[in-house]
Amino acid sequence: MSTKELVAVLWGNEIGRLTRDRNGRLRFTYADAWRTRDDAIPLSLSMPLAAQEHGHKPVSAFLWGLLPDNEVVLRRWGQRFQVSARNAFALIANVGEDCAGAAQFVRPERLDAVLAGGPMEVEWLDDEGIAERLRLLREDRGAWRGPSDTGQFSLSGAQAKTAFLLEGGRFGVPSGRTPTTHILKPPLREFPGHVENEHFCMALARELGLATAASEVRRFGDELAVVVTRYDRARTAELAAEAAARAAAAATRAAGESDVAAAALEAAAAAADAAALGELAESQPILRLHQEDTCQALAIEPTSKYQHEGGPSPGQIAELLRGSSSSPMEDVAAFVDALGYNWIIAGTDAHAKNYSLLLAARGQVRLAPLYDLASALPDPSLEPPRLRLAMKIGSTYRIRDIQGRHWRALCQALRIDESETIGRIDAIAAGAEHRVGDLGARMIEEGLDAEVVDRLVDRIGGRARACRKLLPDASRPE
C-alpha cells in the first residue's frame, strides 16, 4: 500500500504532516504544539508558521528542491523504490530521513523508531569500501548508495555524489536518526579535472574571506573524490559551548549597556539554547542544521533555477535577504560578493539553488556558506566568448560583456553603495590574482594533478587581472 502521509521531524520533534491527495496535490500542516513553541522555526520561509496549512505550490517546490536535479538518478530511484520518478512525495518517502537541512520526512510506521534515537546506527567502511562505491557512482550516476546499504539520503543538484558520516577518522553509512556529515563527489567523465577545479575554487574563495564550505581532495584506494564538509551539520557539544559563550558575553554587556533589558533577554535566550543543546549532546552528538535554497524559500521549482528560465534574479534574492535575514545588510553584501567572485572565476553554474539560507530558532536567518563553486575557464570545449553567468549583472549574462557600468547598474537596482561594492569586488579580483599561484603550488604538493592545477592558476589568474581592468571606471560617475 502506498504512503499517503509523511511526518516532518525537526531535532526529534514532530513539526507537522505532509499529505498527497488522489489528484497528486500536496499539503503541509504544522502541528499546533510546534507552532506555539518559542523556538519554533518554519519548514520553509515559503511556509511561515503564521499559517497552519500550506498548499501545493510551496510544498512541491520544497520537496523537489530536496531531490537530485538529475533525471537519470530520479529514474533509477523510481525503479529501485517502484514509484514514479515524477512523484516527489513518493521519492521523499523512501529517501527523506536524511536530506539537506534538518527536516526528516518519516513514514508514520517509522516515527517511533526515529524519535527514540538511541546509539549511532552506522555501517563503517574502509577505504576500499568507499572506493567501490565511488567506482559504482562514476559508472552509474543513480548509484548513490550500495545495493545492501540500509541508510538512504537525498541531496539536491545535478552532479553524481554520495554522502557519509565521518566520525573518529572513519567513514560510514548511517541510518535512522544519525545524519551524514560529508559529501563525496567523484570525477566527471564529461568534465576532466572537475574534482580539482571545485576544490581549487572553493579553497580560493575561503582564502579571499568568502564564507565557503570546507573541502579537500582525498584518494580512496585508486579512486579520487572531492570531500565537502556539510555546513548543515554540527557537533552538538560545540554548539552548546558557543551558545554558553554568547550568554556570558551578553550578560557582561548587560552590566554596561543602557538597554539592560534587551541585553539580559539576549543572555537568557543564549543560556536557554546552551542548556537545550547540552541535553541533546548525548542523544544527538551530531545535529542537523536547518537550511533551504533560495528557490525553496521563494516557492520556485528547481526546473526554473536559472534566471533566464524564470528563476530568481539578483534583485529577488536581495529582497528575500532584506525581508528575512537577521543581518540583512551583511548578507546582501555577501551575496553580491559571491556574484562578483563567480564573475571573476567564470562560475557559470551559480544559479539560485546554489545560494541557501540557514534557519535557526528565534527567527535567526542567515545566508549560508557558498558551495558547488567551479570555473568554466579550464574547459577547452567551452568557448570563452560564449560563456554566460547564471544570473544577470546589470543587463547581460555574457561574461565577456560585463564591465563596470553593469556592476554600477546592479548596485543601483539593489539599492546598495556603488563605490563600496565595486571596491570589494576589485579587492576579490586582486586577491585572486595574487593568491592563485601559492594556492596552486600547495595543491600540487598535496598530490593534485599538476597539469589541471597549473591550468586553473593560469586561467583564473589571467581572468582576475582582466576583471580588474574593467572595474576602475565603475567607481567614477559617467
Q: What percent of the chain has pLDDT over 90?
A: 64
pLDDT score at 357: 97
**Model confidence at 43: pLDDT above 90:** yes
Confidence band of 76 (pLDDT split at 50, 70, 90): confident
Residues near 287 by beta carbon (within 8 Å), at least 6 away in sequence:
11, 102, 233, 234, 235, 236, 239, 277, 280
pLDDT interval class at 244 (50, 70, 90): low
In this predicted structure, which of 429-433, 445-449, 471-475 has the lowest mean pLDDT? 471-475
What's the CA gap between 378 and 460, in Å, rounded? 9
- pLDDT at position 143 is 60
Closest CA to 317 of 407, 388, 413: 413
The pLDDT of 229-242, averaged and rounded, is 80
pLDDT at 426: 97
Taking the model in full, what pTM does it have? 0.89
Give the per-residue pLDDT at 155: 58
Looking at residue 447, its pLDDT comes to 84
Residue range 397-426, pLDDT digits in tens: 999 999 999 999 999 999 999 999 999 999
Average pLDDT of the chain is 87
What type of residue is 294? T
pLDDT at position 176 over 90: no
Predicted pLDDT at 437: 97
The Cβ-side half-sphere exposure at 157, using a 13 Å CA radius, reads: 21
Query: Which amino acid, one-letter code, is at 380?
Result: P
> Residue 113: its pLDDT value, please?
85
CATH code for the part of the protein at 291-475? 1.10.1070
Q: Among 204-208, 269-273, 388-392, 473-477, where is mean pLDDT lowest?
A: 473-477
The dihedral sign for the CA sequence 265, 267, 268, 273: positive
Higher pLDDT, 256 or 39: 39
- One-character DSSP codes across 90-153: HHHHHHTTS-SSS-EEE-GGGHHHHHH--S--EEEE-HHHHHHHHHHHHH-TT-SS-TT-----
Phi, psi of 162, rounded to the nearest 5 degrees: -140, 170
Closest CA to 339 of 414, 412, 401, 393: 393
Nearest to 336 by CA among 353, 358, 321: 321
Each residue's pLDDT tens digit, 209-224: 999 999 998 999 999 8
Residue 20 has pLDDT above 90, yes or no: yes
pLDDT > 80? residue 388? yes
pLDDT band at 385 (very low <50, low <70, confident <90, very high): confident
Ranking 113-117, 228-232, 241-245 by mean pLDDT, the lowest is 241-245
Running DSSP on this structure, what letter comes out for residue 28?
E
The mean per-residue pLDDT over the stretch 15-23 comes to: 96
> Domain coordinates of the chain in residue numbers?
5-116, 234-288, 291-475
Q: CA-to-CA distance for 58 and 110, rounded, in angstroms?
A: 25
